[in-house]
Structure 1
Amino acid sequence: MTDSEAALTEGAPRPVDDLTFREALAELESIVAVLESNTLELEESLASYERGVVLLGSLQKRLASAEQQVEVLMGELAAAPDDAARDTTLS
């Protein structure tokens, strides 16, 4: 049993911010599987769905942040024009 699966079966799950991206994704996948199995009572389903929404929101924020970091890094890789090649028509 993984940590994320253990969190689902034990008392209170770990705070989402304490999970790695991989752990959060694994827990979300586990929640989806359980919800799709239709084996939970309504109250448990709602609690699991709520946890899934929180996990999904966190994962989306992390992906957006990573995407922004990649864009910044890619921008740094773009070669800045040297002084001799710079367009001076607006000067």
Structure 2
Amino acid sequence: MEEAQKDATPIEELTFRQAMSELDGIVAKLESNTMELEDSLAAYERGVALLRALRGRLDDAQQKVDVLMGELEQDASDEEIDTNLHKA
């Protein structure tokens, strides 16, 4: 496993789906309880790094959605204000 860890694709180069798939594989291997201690620790470390990166990507995506939703709400309230001004 240590060799596999050295050859692993850098996390920032993985797509979200690839990172999730790798994390799922790591969890399955750790749950199988068939790995040597050193390999388990290396896999756990990679899993934590993957999880941290995935959470960061999700947080970034949520912020983008919040900004877009805020812009939509802003546009709607601007139209309401414009409509009200024309009525006056």
- Equivalence for 1:51: 46
Give the number of equivalent residue pairs.
79
**Cα RMSD between the aligned structures?**
1.9
Q: CA deviation at 1:77?
A: 1.0
SS in 2 for 1:40: coil
Runs of 4+ in 1 over 2 A off after TM superposition: 8-11, 80-86
Q: Which amino acid aligns with 1:29?
A: D
**Greater share of helix:** 2
SS in 2 for 1:80: helix
TM-score, normalised relative to structure 2: 0.81
Q: Is the 8 A contact 2:19 2:50 kept in 1?
A: yes
Unaligned runs of 5+ in 2: none
- Equivalence for 1:62: 57
More RCO (CA 8 Å, sep 6+): 2
